[in-house]
Structure 1
Amino acid sequence: MDPEDCKPLLDEVHRFFKGLNMKIRYYIPILLVDQEEIIRIHKKSILGSTIYEKFELDAVNYVSKSIQRGENVEVVKEVEQLPPGRKVRAVLLLYGFPKLAIGSTLAHELMHAWMRVQGYRGLALNIAEGLSQVMAHKWLEWQSFTGDDYMKGTSEKAQFLRNLKEFMKDGIERRYSEAYGHGFREAKWAVERYGLIYTLKHIARKGKLPE
């Protein structure tokens, strides 16, 4: 996905949160970064991250636009100074993936941001990551009803996008790790049984998922 497509996608994910009565009333810079920058910041390659107030990072080299030159793509970078003292200073997304992948990652990271802004602190890793994976999964499901029109057609591209969506949902559902896999399945069970808002309120009070 090109950087110029990021703003419409961000608006789309914000509409998704608003539709769940979880509107994010807080400005958060959303920045596409290349793998070199992700590794510089986190010492490993990851698809996305949420930068909180205590993270020691003053600026991010983000991809502002891309230029097609034959078979190669040249990226143009700019520097974004991160505001100090804010609960959530930025969300970083790894550049170069298709919209569905970046959108689900953005939904995941914005859930982390939403919880931080709402005052959720000290959550167990499997709860925080599990809930964020639930939001990524829900966003992919949401695409079936409100996604781009070209995803609903009969063309090869439309079928490819539908297959990609199902592949990504299946990847979330089958993930093996404790936090992202088991945590997702536990959080999904709670949300399906009690509803998302009740589950979040219970976690805010008790610090754990409802049983």
Structure 2
Amino acid sequence: MGWLNKIFKGSNQRHPMGNEHYHHNGGYYDNYPHEHSEPTDADHTQEPSTSEEETWNGKENEEVDRVIALSILEEENQRPETNTGAFSFSFLSTTCHYWHRICAGCNMEIGHGRYLNCLNALWHPQCFRCYGCSHPISEYEFSTSGNYPFHKACYRERFHPKCDVCSLFISTNHAGLIEYRAHPFWVQKYCPSHEHDATPRCCSCERMEPRNTGYFELNDGRKLCLECLDSSVMDTFQCQPLYLQIQEFYEGLNMTVEQEVPLLLVERQALNEAREGERNGHYHMPETRGLCLSEEQTVRTVRKRSKGNWSGNMITEQFKLTRRCEVTAILILFGLPRLLTGSILAHEMMHAWMRLKGFRPLSQDVEEGICQVMAHKWLEAELAAGSRNSNAASSSSSSYGGVKKGPRSQYERKLGEFFKHQIEADASPVYGDGFRAGRLAVNKYGLRRTLEHIQMTGRFPV
């Protein structure tokens, strides 16, 4: 108030000051016109003035009012800003008729009456609206995102994370922080409690089962989401075309599997029993999905299921494996999507190829690592072929008005990327580190030279 002190210091007169009425009512101010109070004996000590003196006093009063307004604004500008998430109001002078207040909402002048001062702007009360629901904000506190105001409830609805499993808002922990889990690939957000409340996961894509979407339960207790179920391979008969495709993939790499190796799709229990019957081998935990057998056994295979009937009419039979060569059979877990079944089959086929070629017994990281390299290469080739087919289909549809590919093909491609990600991000020292060492060697020396080096030395070339 430095300017005001200077003016009063040079005057022995007392001037009647105008009354400014600001009523703080739930975040609003009532702004009334400037009113001069009636002078009393205590207000004035001077004698009545002449008309010229009255004119001069009127001008001086107006000058004092202007200086008061400037001083108040100067103090407001020097006051540090705070962001509390609530309305912030400042006293704006109404004594000076030279300034006009413009509403930031409607860009119209704010006259006498109630107005808001928040977000560094002035507003008509009815113009300060929530960016989410477009209704006026009348509460004292509100939330902001960028420069947009929100009701606190609207902000929570739009920005507070919801659990993808139970569809509820994710609660805060004891420290007041929002804590949740998220799948590293699918980014499915869920409450930490679902990791311990027996919420099932899809045995293929690993996503948790949402409460409003039921997963399909296979005969051996595993659960499959509906998207993975759409491309699942359910029996040995259905898997034969895929088996032929994997054989052609190996032939294209000049790695023909010369012996006819039986391929069988089996339930989880049969696969575990066959694993126990093998003398040697390393199996990927927590669950084995494929085996390359070298021992004579009798296994129960899923021979055929009725078309379109997932829940029943599954025909199983006993299959006796006879040892005619180093490999007696390849077993794959039934009910997995086609791309996952194919990658497992490409992995087990590499085991069979090396045994039939007379490779020496290898360390687990080398053998499993090079098999994972082959599974990864097949997925890359399959996804690349799918992209070419998709482009051809798009070109054809643009020419002949065909229908574009639906969500199924898009999800299958995403699923293939997920299976590649699983191989690449595997943290196990055998499968994960073995794959990364094998891939590095193949990228550097090529597949043929890498395999020759493994056959001679039992190690990856460096």
Q: Same fold (TM over 0.5)?
A: yes
CA contact (8 A) 1:38 1:45 kept: no
Question: What is the aligned length?
Answer: 208
C-alpha separation in 2, matches of 1:71 and 1:30 = 21
- Greater helix fraction, Structure 1 or Structure 2: 1
SS at 2:312 equivalent: strand
1:71 shift after superposition:
6.3
Query: For residue 461 of structure 2, what is the aligned residue in structure 1?
Result: 210
Per-residue CA distance 1:36-84 (angstroms, 9 max, x = gap): 21122225841000001xx3x4211101001368662332111211112
CA contact (8 A) 2:300 2:318 kept: yes
- Is 1:38 matched up with 2:271? yes
More displaced stretch, 73-82 vs 168-177: 73-82
More displaced stretch, 23-32 vs 139-148: 139-148
- Is 1:157 matched up with 2:389? no
C-alpha separation in 1, matches of 2:332 and 2:323 = 20
Query: For residue 441 of structure 2, what is the aligned residue in structure 1?
Result: 190
Query: For residue 79 of structure 1, what is the aligned residue in structure 2?
Result: 318
- Is 1:109 matched up with 2:351? no
Query: For residue 250 of structure 2, what is the aligned residue in structure 1?
Result: 17
Query: For residue 132 of structure 1, what is the aligned residue in structure 2?
Result: 371
SS at 1:178 equivalent: coil
More displaced stretch, 67-76 vs 187-196: 67-76
CA contact (8 A) 1:65 1:77 kept: yes
C-alpha separation in 2, matches of 1:17 and 1:31 = 19
C-alpha separation in 2, matches of 1:166 and 1:146 = 14
CA RMSD of aligned residues (A): 2.1
Query: For residue 238 of structure 2, what is the aligned residue in structure 1?
Result: 5
C-alpha separation in 2, matches of 1:71 and 1:131 = 35
C-alpha separation in 2, matches of 1:66 and 1:147 = 27
Larger RCO, structure (CA 8 Å, separation 6 or more) = 1
C-alpha separation in 1, matches of 2:308 and 2:378 = 33
CA contact (8 A) 1:68 1:74 kept: no
C-alpha separation in 1, matches of 2:386 and 2:316 = 29
- Is 1:50 matched up with 2:292? yes
C-alpha separation in 2, matches of 1:28 and 1:131 = 20
SS at 1:73 equivalent: coil
C-alpha separation in 2, matches of 1:70 and 1:187 = 41
C-alpha separation in 1, matches of 2:431 and 2:310 = 36
From the CA coordinates, give the structure whose radius of gyration is larger: 2
C-alpha separation in 1, matches of 2:386 and 2:331 = 23
More displaced stretch, 87-96 vs 58-67: 58-67
Per-residue CA distance 1:134-189 (angstroms, 9 max, x = gap): 01100100102335957976320110010000000001000000110000000000
CA contact (8 A) 2:265 2:331 kept: yes
Query: For residue 150 of structure 2, what is the aligned residue in structure 1?
Result: none
SS at 1:79 equivalent: strand
1:85 shift after superposition:
4.6
SS at 1:63 equivalent: strand
**One-letter amino acid of the structure 1 residue matched with residue 288 of structure 2:** I
For structure 1, the residue ranges without an aligned partner over 5 or more in a row are none
Query: For residue 175 of structure 1, what is the aligned residue in structure 2?
Result: 426
1:127 shift after superposition:
0.4
What TM-score do you get using the length of structure 2 for normalisation?
0.43
SS at 2:319 equivalent: strand
**One-letter amino acid of the structure 1 residue matched with residue 316 of structure 2:** K
Per-residue CA distance 1:82-125 (angstroms, 9 max, x = gap): 11252000000001101111100000000000000001122110
**One-letter amino acid of the structure 2 residue matched with residue 116 of structure 1:** R
- Structure 1 vs Structure 2: percent identity of aligned residues? 37
